[in-house]
């Protein structure tokens, strides 16, 4: 992309309404624009990052064997009356009446809709296990939308739903989600700690929230400091292996880590030596739930058991705050000058800054770099505007591309360009060809990880044909 032809409305002034860094920087970098309270338009740069976050979420869900689909944003109130939540959900639910006087709502979550789909098509335990998910906009009429996309009213969520014959199978699905979430957040450069949480309006008391530690987080958290040393890394995992899933759950959840909703001070003091006790704040970027037959029973989502009896399925639901993640990533990774994107989610892989636009040699070198990087499957952002070097650097620093190649007539005379690391500010002089190779090397591991994984065997073998 050439900046002269892009739409990047950066702001010089710090917007008064933004009280935390991520909100401020997203507005300044021209990523979002508020449409009304807690509702945002995603401008091109913000939309690019949102797409990258969603892509990682999709890849990791499919790697775990979960199946993508798409449900609508508007739902019929009737289904929610069946589960009993239409009245229970309260003022956060946006209720709408259509021209035929039918009660509708803008979905805050999808347990009812997916359970209805399940009960329509699935009749036998032989069609289990099944986990379906989608990435779709949700609406919750939050009393105090704030911090930009962090607590929006309209927000993008990945929500997945598992259907299993037994509690044990459903707990394996729970563990599979936990593992896939650890991978997902790490690919975005985040450490998100699973913590014992409260079921809230979704229900169930078997639930963990994933929290990114940040001073600006809305949740109070209490944890054993040892937990921050844990990394999932790129270890191999077989998602169909029950014991492996259980081992990861135990590794990541056996130490004390709770949100303020479930915190127990006496237990905290008993389980954690004083020197390792931490009290901090965190941003909730996901939550997983096992709630058994809470929805399947009232809604009649049963399957024929191996003994030939109809039994309600065991379910759980599993959410990731896709749009909130953008705020969380920025809170965790920025400095005075702007955002510092982790390579996994950066809107462009590398910026090219031409120090002397109009100089034939500099222009030509930039064009050649642009073409070579693009040929490697990388997406550069070339600042080809007639602007001072200082202004170009300030824009690149603000929008936070992790790598920058600076091209100027003086360097070119010596046969070099400059490659700069946004995080450390360190630069190295390299030939243009070596600069391209350097950027390619940096992104190569991410491109490997981004390759779609083969579908796990048991899922691949099971065919799903139902006639109704």
Per CB under 6 A, residues contacting ligand 5CA are 109, 140, 142, 151-152, 155, 157, 159, 202, 284-287, 317-319, 321, 323-324
C-beta of 140: minimal distance to ligand 5CA in Å? 5
Contacts of 263 (CB under 8 A, 6+ apart): 220, 222
C-beta of 5: minimal distance to ligand 5CA in Å? 32
C-alpha to C-alpha distances, 237 to 77, 182, 325, 337, 443, nearest whole angstrom? 41, 12, 24, 39, 23
- Residue of this chain nearest to ligand 5CA (CB atom): 321
C-beta of 267: minimal distance to ligand 5CA in Å? 24
C-beta of 322: minimal distance to ligand 5CA in Å? 8
Q: Which CB atom, from 315 or from 430, has the smaller least distance to ligand 5CA?
A: 315
Q: Which CB atom, from 292 or from 319, has the smaller least distance to ligand 5CA?
A: 319
C-beta of 32: minimal distance to ligand 5CA in Å? 13
C-beta of 127: minimal distance to ligand 5CA in Å? 21
- In our burial notation (b when 16+ CB lie closer than 10 A, e otherwise), range 276-312 reads eebebebbbbbbbbbbbbbbbeebebbbbeeeeeebb
CA atoms within 13 A on the CB side of 260: 10
C-alpha to C-alpha distances, 439 to 372, 403, 415, nearest whole angstrom? 11, 8, 18
Q: Which CB atom, from 245 or from 321, has the smaller least distance to ligand 5CA?
A: 321
Burial class (CB in 10 A: 0-12, 13-18, 19+), 241: middle
Q: Where are the beta strands (DSSP E) in 112-265?
A: 130-139, 154-164, 192-196, 206-213, 219-224, 257-259
C-alpha to C-alpha distances, 271 to 222, 247, 252, 275, nearest whole angstrom? 12, 20, 16, 12
C-beta of 321: minimal distance to ligand 5CA in Å? 2
The helix or strand, by DSSP H or E, that contains position 82, with its residue range, turns out to be helix 77-83
DSSP state of 122: -
Q: Which CB atom, from 157 or from 398, has the smaller least distance to ligand 5CA?
A: 157
User: From CA 419, how far away is CA 406, in angstroms rounded?
Assistant: 7
C-beta of 49: minimal distance to ligand 5CA in Å? 15
C-beta of 115: minimal distance to ligand 5CA in Å? 12
Q: Which CB atom, from 140 or from 422, has the smaller least distance to ligand 5CA?
A: 140
- Count of C-beta atoms within a 10 Å radius of residue 468: 5
Q: Which CB atom, from 157 or from 396, has the smaller least distance to ligand 5CA?
A: 157
Q: Which CB atom, from 142 or from 429, has the smaller least distance to ligand 5CA?
A: 142
Q: Which CB atom, from 272 or from 315, has the smaller least distance to ligand 5CA?
A: 315
Asked if residue 139 has a cis previous peptide bond (ω within 30° of 0), the answer is: no
Q: Which CB atom, from 164 or from 383, has the smaller least distance to ligand 5CA?
A: 164
User: What is Dmax (Cα atoms) for the chain?
Assistant: 81
């Amino acid at each position: 992309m050439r900046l002269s032809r892009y739409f990047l409305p950066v702001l010089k002034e710090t917007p008064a309404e933004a009280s935390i860094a991520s909100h401020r920087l997203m507005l300044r970098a021209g990523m979002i624009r508020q449409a009304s309270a807690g509702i945002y338009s995603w401008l091109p740069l913000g939309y690019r990052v949102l797409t990258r976050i969603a892509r990682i979420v999709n890849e990791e869900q499919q790697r775990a064997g979960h199946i993508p689909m798409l449900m609508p944003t508007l739902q019929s109130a009737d289904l929610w009356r069946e589960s009993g939540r239409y009245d229970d959900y309260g003022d956060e639910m946006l209720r709408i009446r259509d021209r035929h006087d039918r009660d509708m709502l803008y979905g805050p979550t999808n347990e009812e809709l997916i359970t209805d789909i399940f009960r329509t098509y699935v009749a036998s335990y032989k069609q289990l296990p099944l986990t379906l998910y989608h990435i779709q906009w949700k609406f919750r009429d939050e009393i105090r939308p704030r911090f930009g996309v962090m607590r929006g009213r309209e927000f993008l969520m990945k929500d997945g739903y598992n259907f299993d014959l037994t509690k044990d199978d459903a707990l394996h699905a729970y563990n599979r989600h936990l593992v896939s979430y650890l991978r997902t957040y790490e690919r975005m450069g985040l450490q998100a700690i699973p913590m014992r949480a409260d079921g809230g309006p979704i229900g169930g008391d078997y639930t963990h929230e994933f929290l990114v530690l940040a001073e600006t987080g809305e949740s109070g958290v209490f944890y054993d400091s040892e937990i921050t040393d844990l990394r999932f890394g790129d270890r191999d995992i077989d998602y169909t292996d029950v014991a492996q899933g259980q081992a990861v759950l135990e590794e990541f959840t056996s130490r004390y880590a709770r949100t303020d909703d479930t915190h127990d001070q006496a237990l905290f003091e008993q389980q954690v030596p004083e020197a390792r006790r931490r009290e901090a704040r965190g941003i909730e970027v996901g939550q997983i739930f096992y709630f058994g037959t809470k929805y399947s029973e009232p809604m009649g989502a049963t399957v024929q058991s191996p003994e030939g009896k109809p039994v309600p399925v065991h379910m759980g639901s599993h959410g990731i705050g896709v749009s909130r993640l953008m705020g969380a990533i920025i809170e965790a990774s920025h400095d005075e000058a702007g955002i510092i994107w982790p390579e996994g989610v950066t809107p462009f892989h590398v910026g090219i800054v031409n120090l002397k636009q109009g100089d034939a040699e500099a222009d030509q070198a930039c064009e050649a770099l642009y073409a070579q990087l693009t040929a490697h499957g990388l997406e550069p952002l070339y600042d080809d505007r007639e602007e001072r070097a200082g202004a170009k650097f300030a824009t690149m620093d603000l929008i936070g591309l992790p790598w920058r190649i600076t091209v100027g007539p003086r360097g070119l005379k010596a046969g070099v360009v400059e490659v700069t690391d946004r995080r450390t500010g360190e630069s190295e002089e390299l030939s243009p060809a070596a600069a391209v190779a350097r950027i390619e090397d940096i992104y190569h591991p991410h491109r490997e990880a981004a390759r779609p994984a083969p579908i796990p065997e048991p899922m691949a073998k099971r065919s799903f044909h139902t006639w109704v």
